[in-house]
Amino acid sequence: MPGEGLKGMPDLREEPDKNGIMKLRFPEPFNVAELLIDRHLAEGRGEKVAIRMLDRDVSYAELVASVNRFGNALKTLGVLPGERLLMIVDDCAEFVYLFFGAIKAGVFPVPLNTLLRANDFAFIIEDSQCAAVAYSSESAPEVEAAVAQSSWRVRHVLRLDGEDSLSDLARRASPELQARPARAEDDCFWLYSSGTTGRPKGVVHLHRNIAVTCQRYAVETLGAQETDVFFSVPRLYFSYGLGCAMTNPLWVGATAILDARRQTPQTVAEVFRRFSPSVFAGVPTFYAALLKTGALTGSDVTGLRRCLSGGEATPPEILRRWLELTGVPITEVIGSTETLHIYMGNRADDIRVGTLGKPVAGYRVKLVDEDGAIISDERPGRMWVKGQSLARCYWNDAEKTKRIFVDGWMDTGDTLYRDRDGYYVYCGRADDMLKVSGRFVSPFEIEATIVEDARVLEAAVVGRRDDEGLVRIEAWVVLKNGALATEATAEEIRNLCKTKLAHYKYPKWINFVDQLPKTATGKIQRFKLRGGYPPP
């Protein structure tokens, strides 16, 4: 039963929808901050550590008071319910205070990628028509330049830390704040999609969406416990990190580790040694880097019991080497900004290597072909998903909203196939699928084969037309030792692919590079590879 074992949790009963799918039912009024923040005092968790950082711990009692102080600070400034607050804030306790303080006050927090540049911030300022911008001092140059060049007048530009900052104002505010009444179906916060091409899109989420993802994934699928310590390499502004490093641990009364530093294998290994996380979330490229550097050892992971990997498909060789090092298998998962968190994934007690497992409880998926017909066999198709955590819309983009969200379903843009046992196998983004010799080819299948070569750190595959105008396969490869980037190595990689794969799937061209172009969330930007990356 949803909520079972969670003291003080309201009765989020299940009820079937018209298709017989079980949905969570929410009480009214419903402000999600009360569930994630306020209830912990009543449950006797006030002295427990909610957040751990390198320089300090934050108890649940401090968390509740600080969330209220930040919410009251926004009210004092005159930021009104329904207005947008852009957050360009590092991973720290103040992120949590501000995010949930805004929600309690009825303001919509909008966390943004802290690595964006002034032009991107200016675009989002104008697109969101925000009332306030709050930012960490490290982002000051880009944020202040964005505010100066934006045509939209921001009423409040708030440095988070330092003298005369938002934190100063919050310290003087009351530690008591009554949550603004809301319904589960009301707008709550926004995220801007990172994407791999084009301008970021504002994704509008509801109060219920956080609760759904926490209950359906953290509790029912991951098996999260109050004793867990969560650590996520993906940042809080990314939906994957928002769940793994903030909402999931808060939902079950666990502890979250937040580290504002740029994550490297060395900093992550330090966190493991100091704080012994039990739940770890990463992306395939970071798992590969940890294994390559040897920064993490078996003695560093004695508390580890769950490992998640998302953002891209994880090569089987990385899965094998991680299990060998830690004794804990990686459970591959998939989610999106639009679904807020994970809607499909392997379970610790049901791992099928090379697949994304099965849908999380409460979600439905379907595969459709190029004509929109549902696929019932093992052919690859475009995946659509349905569930209670879907975003309401794309802000300022009615046309895209209408195209992507249809009758309660969302077009994920991903291509998968379902094997005979009901497990789903990732093939790539729909736009990344290749058609070679009249057959559809998954770039991931070739990439996973290339990574089987012990000299290879990571690889990405795209299509390229030859002199006759036919699509052939081009591989971009990062080696562990750049000195081995020779034609002899390339030929050996080709021969490996010819041995392991169908004859038309070997890479005609192999380019050795120092690194692959990626988004801030670790997704490979294949459009740059198709454009001839790196530039001359």
Identify whether 100 is part of a domain.
no
Identify whether 372 is part of a domain.
no
Which of 266, 288, 298 lies closest to 454 in space, CA to CA? 288
CB of 309 closer than 8 Å to CB of 326: no
Q: Please report the pLDDT score of residue 438 as a whole number.
A: 60
- Between helices 93-105 and 60-77, what is the axis angle to 10°? 60
The sign of the dihedral angle between the CA atoms of 64, 66, 69, 75 is negative
Is pLDDT at 7 greater than 60 in this prediction?
Answer: no
Q: Read off the pLDDT band of 11 (50, 70, 90).
A: low
Residue 480: which domain range?
433-530
CA of 233: how far to CAs of 236, 257, 268, 313, 365, in Å?
9, 10, 8, 16, 28
Identify whether 519 is part of a domain.
yes
Q: Read off the pLDDT band of 197 (50, 70, 90).
A: very low
211: part of which helix (H) or strand (E)? helix 207-213
Higher pLDDT, 434 or 147: 147
Q: Look at 74-88, 187-201, 280-294 and tell me which has the smallest mean pLDDT.
A: 187-201
Identify whether 526 is part of a domain.
yes
Identify whether 520 is part of a domain.
yes
Q: How far apart, in Å, do the first and last CA atoms of the chain sit?
A: 59
Q: How far apart are CA 400 and CA 204, in angstroms?
A: 13
Q: Please report the pLDDT score of residue 424 as a whole number.
A: 96
Is pLDDT at 157 greater than 90 in this prediction?
Answer: yes
CA of 43: how far to CAs of 7, 253, 489, in Å?
6, 9, 60
What would the DSSP string read from start to end of 257-276? E---SPP-HHHHHHHHHHH-
Identify whether 437 is part of a domain.
yes
Identify whether 517 is part of a domain.
yes
CB of 271 closer than 8 Å to CB of 231: yes
Which of 64, 34, 70, 29 lies closest to 46 in space, CA to CA? 64
Q: Read off the pLDDT band of 19 (50, 70, 90).
A: low
Is pLDDT at 530 greater than 70 in this prediction?
Answer: yes
Cα 336 off chain centre by: 7
3-state DSSP helix/strand/coil % of the chain, to nearest 5: 35, 25, 40
Name the burial class of residue 4, with classes exposed (0-12), middle (13-18) and buried (19+) by CB atoms within 10 angstroms of its CB.
Answer: exposed
Structural domains of the chain, count: 1
Identify whether 478 is part of a domain.
yes
Q: How far apart are CA 3 and CA 421, in angstroms?
A: 30
Name the burial class of residue 462, with classes exposed (0-12), middle (13-18) and buried (19+) by CB atoms within 10 angstroms of its CB.
Answer: buried
Question: What CATH number is associated with residue 499?
Answer: 3.30.300.30
Q: How far apart are CA 45 and CA 63, in angstroms?
A: 11
For the chain, give the mean pLDDT.
Answer: 92
